[in-house]
């Protein structure tokens, strides 16, 4: 199963200079509750951005896959993936796609479930989530708080 998780504002903004444009503790706790100890796929920029947050501590995931076009990239705590599409199509593992924008765009056509945190308001940044055809998905869960609308969408069976 391919699951994607992200937070975005009303304009699909997801990032600003490799950082999250907002600081909403409840959303970070939600993200951690879903991804801690799980197998994740992320892009190289997202990997280094997270390393900046965690500094000397290990990232809180189980197995980590990092997508990169750099054939010489070696990471001590992650497996480098050169071809994201082939990886997603062939994997038998449950994967959580955690960013960034390019990886989301590549994986969206193969996603079984979307965990979207809709952040209330508009923020400034430079990374956006690609357009989503919500006709392909069914809303199966929603929880509204003052700052965030948490949702889970499942791909409709054809």
For the chain, percent of residues with pLDDT exceeding 70: 100
Whole-angstrom Cα distance, residue 156 to residue 158? 6
Whole-angstrom Cα distance, residue 115 to residue 129? 13
* Long-range contacts of 76-83, Cβ-Cβ distance < 8 Å, separation of 24 or more: 78/47, 81/41
Averaged pLDDT for residues 45-72: 94
Q: What is the pLDDT of residues 80-96, one digit of tens each?
A: 999 999 999 999 999 99
* In the predicted structure, residue 53 carries a pLDDT above the cut 90: no
Q: What is the pLDDT of residues 15-24, one digit of tens each?
A: 998 889 999 9
Q: What is the pLDDT of residues 104-134, one digit of tens each?
A: 999 999 999 999 999 999 999 999 999 999 9
pLDDT for 83 equals: 97
Overall fold of domain 2-155: Dihydrofolate Reductase, subunit A (3.40.430)
* In the predicted structure, residue 78 carries a pLDDT above the cut 90: yes
pLDDT for 158 equals: 80
Q: What angle do CA 130, 69, 112 make, to 5 degrees?
A: 40
pLDDT bucket at 55, cuts 50 / 70 / 90: confident
Give the pTM.
0.96
Whole-angstrom Cα distance, residue 56 to residue 52? 9
Whole-angstrom Cα distance, residue 66 to residue 44? 6
Domain regions of the chain by residue span: 2-155
CA gyration radius for the chain? 15
Whole-angstrom Cα distance, residue 26 to residue 39? 22
pLDDT for 4 equals: 98
pLDDT for 30 equals: 98
């Amino acid at each position: 199963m391919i699951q994607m998780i992200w937070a975005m504002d009303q304009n699909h903004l997801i990032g600003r200079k490799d950082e999250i444009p907002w600081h909403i503790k409840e959303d970070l706790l939600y993200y951690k509750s879903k991804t801690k100890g799980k197998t994740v796929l992320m892009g190289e920029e997202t990997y280094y951005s997270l390393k900046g947050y965690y500094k000397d501590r290990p990232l809180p995931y189980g197995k980590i896959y990092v997508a990169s076009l750099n054939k010489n990239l070696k990471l001590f705590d992650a497996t480098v993936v050169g071809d994201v599409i082939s990886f997603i199509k062939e994997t038998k593992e449950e994967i959580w796609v955690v960013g960034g924008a390019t990886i989301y765009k590549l994986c969206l056509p193969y996603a079984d479930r979307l965990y979207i945190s809709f952040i209330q308001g508009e923020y400034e940044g430079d990374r956006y989530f690609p357009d989503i055809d919500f006709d392909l998905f069914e809303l199966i869960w929603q929880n509204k708080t003052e700052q965030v609308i948490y949702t889970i969408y499942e791909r409709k069976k054809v």
